[in-house]
Structure 1
Amino acid sequence: MRHTSVDRADVRDMLVVHEAFRQSYSRIPALVREVSPGDVRRAEVIADHAQLIEEFLHLHHKGEDELLWPKLLERAGDRLGTAVTLLESQHEEIAALLTESSLRLAAWRAQPSKASGEELANSLERLDALLTEHLAIEEKDVLPIVPEYVTAKEWHQLGDHAINGLPKSKLPIVFGMLASLADPDVVKLMLSTAPLVPRLIMPVLGPKAYARHARRVYGSA
């Protein structure tokens, strides 16, 4: 079941999402370790950021499990080999690490000590390592053939699933984060199925919201 070039999924937006996850998880462990013991206010800032990325990753993988893998296995199973099976298995491992890091994040947020911070940072580093491997496999073995078997409409449903699951107050931050990593035409792609008002205002609100967020989290925009 292949599609015309006009109707094909454009996977460039997912590459941007992947890069956002890679950059975020490569930096969060160090942010945790830099928090002074007992500094609850700073721990709250980092914990809120980590929780937002965690929620986004969970929704991203849930969307793939429900809306992407079944279609690919049905339509292109002979071309995928064991790639999707491996990716599904890694989703389960990542989910377990997310659960572990979430519990440690809650404990550290409430009482940021050197010991609890180190446990959390170690957990996040294991998550980062597995996620980096997972994203590389997906980009090498799966995404290149997606446009042949998934329509643009189906692809946008996948992206909308993650966005619609996030708290509305956090959408400008997430959009701004993605826009900071994307070419202008990919930003337009990400907004192409949004209602008119968000499509018009998000390019203005998103970068400003993310710049404020980044200053709080990283110390600079």
Structure 2
Amino acid sequence: MPPTTTTTDQRPNVHEMVVVHRVFRRELSALPRLVRRVVAGDAARAALVAEHLELILDGLHMHHTGEDAVLWPLLHLRAAPAAALVDTMERQHEQVDARTEQVRTLATAWARTPTALAGEQLAQLVEDLAAALFEHLDLEEREILPLVARHVTVEEWQSLGEHGRDEMTFKQLPLMFGAILEDADDAERDHLLGQLPVVVRLVLRTLGARQYRRYITRVRAA
């Protein structure tokens, strides 16, 4: 039978999730402004902003599917007194997923025909998604991460990161890592990169970092 808690010196570093959450908070707060700044008819600029929105939504989807596959079943099994809380997290995922699909659908149409009306509708949908997501992230950091530290092993926790890396495309990998590392401090950056193979770590620190800087500069250009 799997252990019900982790030992003191083998607890997962749950702060990693806080670092990842910063990306969604930062980018989904900025994206409505980016959408609204696109001039009607500027299909090239709309396509770039929509592509960035898609990258963030893909990252969120990978993040949540990993939790659905790993965290919620483990916490239901090992932290039974918190079952109602875990149920709430699962329902919030469903609500976020529904809003995400609405955003994806409108973003595709807007990128193809970037009218002012469609842009404003998209910006408002992203704001609605962000509000629902941020409520979820706040609850997760406040209530779920302490449970994870007690009831999830290091290996199980690491499988979440592996899930995300396995799901990312070759193009997405340096961009998502660049986004995660952008606001990380030195200790957070060294910890996250230290979990990767040496070759991957080297690429992300050099070619990947330059690729991300070029990409995000274009996205945030006025």
TM-score where L is the length of structure 1: 0.94
Letter in 1 for 2:125: S
Measure the CA separation in 2 of the matches of 1:188 and 1:155.
18
Q: Are residues 1:36 and 2:39 paired?
A: yes
**Relative to structure 1, is the Cα distance of residues 158 and 32 closer, same or farther in structure 2, using a 3 angstrom cutoff?**
same
Measure the CA separation in 2 of the matches of 1:131 and 1:93.
9
Letter in 2 for 1:160: E
- Matched length: 219
| Counterpart position of 1:190 | 192
The CA deviation string for residues 59-101 of structure 1, in whole angstroms up to 9 with x for no partner, is 11010011111111111121x2522111100100111101101
Measure the CA separation in 1 of the matches of 2:37 and 2:139.
32
| Counterpart position of 2:21 | 18
Measure the CA separation in 2 of the matches of 1:102 and 1:59.
15
Measure the CA separation in 1 of the matches of 2:121 and 2:184.
33
Structure 1: state its 5+ residue gaps: none
List, as ranges, runs of 4+ consecutive aligned residues in structure 1 with deviation greater than 3 Å: none
| Counterpart position of 1:69 | 72
Letter in 2 for 1:198: V
Measure the CA separation in 1 of the matches of 2:207 and 2:150.
35
Q: Return the match for 1:169 from 149, 168, 171.
A: 171
Task: Tell me, yes or no, if the aligned pair for 2:76 and 2:83 is still in contact at 8 Å.
Answer: no
Letter in 2 for 1:6: D
How do residues 1-221 of structure 1 correspond to structure 2 at under 5 angstroms?
1-78=4-81, 80-219=82-221
Task: Tell me, yes or no, if the aligned pair for 1:33 and 1:117 is still in contact at 8 Å.
Answer: yes
Task: Tell me, yes or no, if the aligned pair for 1:180 and 1:207 is still in contact at 8 Å.
Answer: no
Task: Tell me, yes or no, if the aligned pair for 1:30 and 1:121 is still in contact at 8 Å.
Answer: yes
Letter in 2 for 1:191: L
Measure the CA separation in 2 of the matches of 1:106 and 1:28.
15
Task: Tell me, yes or no, if the aligned pair for 2:96 and 2:132 is still in contact at 8 Å.
Answer: yes
Measure the CA separation in 2 of the matches of 1:100 and 1:114.
18
Aligned sequence identity (%): 39
Letter in 2 for 1:37: A
The CA deviation string for residues 161-196 of structure 1, in whole angstroms up to 9 with x for no partner, is 112211111211111111112122322332344223
- 1:204 Cα deviation (Å)? 2.2
Measure the CA separation in 2 of the matches of 1:171 and 1:4.
32
Structure 2: state its 5+ residue gaps: none
**Relative to structure 1, is the Cα distance of residues 6 and 199 closer, same or farther in structure 2, using a 3 angstrom cutoff?**
farther
